[in-house]
Amino acid sequence: MRLYLINPSNPLVSIVNVKESRWNHYRVWKPLSLMVLAGLTPPEWEITILDENLGVPDYQAMPQPDLVGITAFTSQANRAYEVATYFRNMSVPVVMGGIHATMCQDEVAEYADSIVTREAESIWPQVLEDARRGSLKHRYDGGLAEIKSVPLARHDLLDTRYAFGAIQTTRGCPLNCSFCSVTAFNGARYRQRPIADVVREFKLIREKRVLVVDDNLIGTRPEHIARAKDMFRAMAQANLRKEWVAQATINFADDEELLALAAKAGCRGVFIGFESLSVEGLKEVGKKFNLLKGRDFRTSVRRIQKHNILVVGSFIIGLDIDEAGIGKRIADVARQYGLDNLNVLFLTPLPGTRLWDQMKSEDRIALDTFPEDWKYYTLTFPVAHYKHLSLDTIIEEMTLCDRNFYSMPHILRRAFGSLWHRRQPLISLVGNLSYRSNLRLNGKAYADFKHYSAKRHN
């Protein structure tokens, strides 16, 4: 039995457009969902993982599979439907799963023979068995997985053109920020994989560099932090020789021992969601967690960096409190905090989030012809109506912010700073130049987007 597992591309996502810029090789990430599904698949299935982000395969020239499984974030839905339609026209059954299939079940059900909602661990072997017998059901729900049942992902199945391997050590997040799908999808309970599994899986990864995909690597409570420390100790002891980057909340900075252990285990960079410059903004998105302990963000960032860990900060533009001037203010503050890299995104109502419900009820979702418009739900296009920022203004604010933070003098200053502090100057420089090289592409993408929006609203 031949199984194709497909990660569809989104041509609008410039950061994954490898041909546009060679830097982008460092920003194409492995589709871990499919590697985990492969890990759950019995040996009688011959599995091929096809990641369209590395180039769209010539499906016609390939042997016909017995079953196709497609994953999709919302931004990949359009292409996912094209691929699904292609295979269904050839009478190959198609199963879709992942976040979009969970949040937009009725829509996805129109394009697939079967959909699998939420986490797949408990249900995928059953789906395969039904497919083998030719009796696929239209819908399956995997619920939330028993974390011990998460298999070792099949790291051997993808080719070596990626700069980073990928692994997941925890699932779920209790914070439930208004714009984020994680709590709705993976639940509020923070579930941690057995440390021995994590170490074993790290050993299976061929790449020297690894993306730890957890939404919050360390968690929020003392027992979560204690487990993170144990995991870092075990990783260091296993002498994995990996360098990895992860996402965490700002409390990562609060514990020197945690930072030292993370660095020893190979942590080289951390992605932190600051989201807003102001208390009102943090309250608006429901991330009051960032306000605890009367935090001084600059000190927190420095404390992390002292351990030779780069800090990438993320902010949102388009909150109800944001007014003209927000772009420049974010760039200024990001520099004051001393961030190594800045990632600013447009406030985007993703289906299944609290923000979606709110904006929908206020009739503020501007691009709402679905499924066509999903391709713009990449957080890099302003798809909503923003309270104080028109379409032109919000794009201008984003452009000003990026041009300011990624101006050549500022990039060089950061590069010298990290050289002086011996904090991975090369990685820092490459990261900054990679963002900068996308600014030109963004300009063109915004112009096309405005044109598209105008056509939509006429």
Which residues here bind ligand SF4, judged by CB under 6 A?
Answer: 173, 175-177, 180, 182-183, 215-216, 249, 273, 287
- Smallest distance from the beta carbon of 353 to ligand SF4, in angstroms? 9
- Smallest distance from the beta carbon of 266 to ligand B12, in angstroms? 18
What is the spatial distance between Cα 147 and Cα 192, in angstroms, rounded to a whole number? 7
Closest CA to 157 of 166, 169, 170: 166
Query: What number of residues does the chain have?
Result: 458
Give me the residues paired with residue 251 across strands: none
Q: Does 97 bind ligand B12 (CB under 6 A)?
A: yes
Instruction: Report what 183 binds from ligand SF4, ligand B12, none; CB cut-off 5-8 Å by kind.
Output: ligand SF4
378: Cβ contacts below 8 Å, ≥ 6 apart = 10, 12, 13, 75, 348
Instruction: Report what 394 binds from ligand B12, ligand SF4, none; CB cut-off 5-8 Å by kind.
Output: none
- Smallest distance from the beta carbon of 288 to ligand B12, in angstroms? 17
Closest CA to 281 of 329, 236, 240: 329
Instruction: Report what 273 binds from ligand SF4, ligand B12, none; CB cut-off 5-8 Å by kind.
Output: ligand SF4
3, 47, 198, 213: residue in contact with ligand B12 (rule CB under 6 A): 213
Based on CB atoms, which residue is closest to ligand B12, 10 or 438? 10
> What single letter denotes the amino acid at residue 169?
T
Residues within window 120-149 making contact with ligand B12, judged by CB under 6 A: 120-121, 124, 145
Q: Does 442 bind ligand B12 (CB under 6 A)?
A: no
Q: Which two tokens stand for residue 427?
A: 């990685």
Residues within window 64-83 making contact with ligand B12, judged by CB under 6 A: 69-71, 73-76
β-strands 67-71, 46-51 pairing: unpaired
Q: Does 313 bind ligand B12 (CB under 6 A)?
A: no
What is the spatial distance between Cα 276 and Cα 141, in angstroms, rounded to a whole number? 35
Are 258 and 225 spatial neighbours (Cβ–Cβ below 8 Å)?
yes
> What single letter denotes the amino acid at residue 168?
Q
What is the spatial distance between Cα 273 and Cα 290, in angstroms, rounded to a whole number? 9
Q: Does 216 bind ligand B12 (CB under 6 A)?
A: no
Are 214 and 246 spatial neighbours (Cβ–Cβ below 8 Å)?
yes
Q: Does 424 bind ligand B12 (CB under 6 A)?
A: no
Based on CB atoms, which residue is closest to ligand B12, 103 or 415? 103
Question: Which positions lie near ligand B12, rule CB under 6 A?
Answer: 7, 10, 13, 16, 29, 31-33, 36-37, 69-71, 73-76, 95-100, 103, 116, 119-121, 124, 145, 168, 180-182, 186, 213, 215, 350-351, 378-379
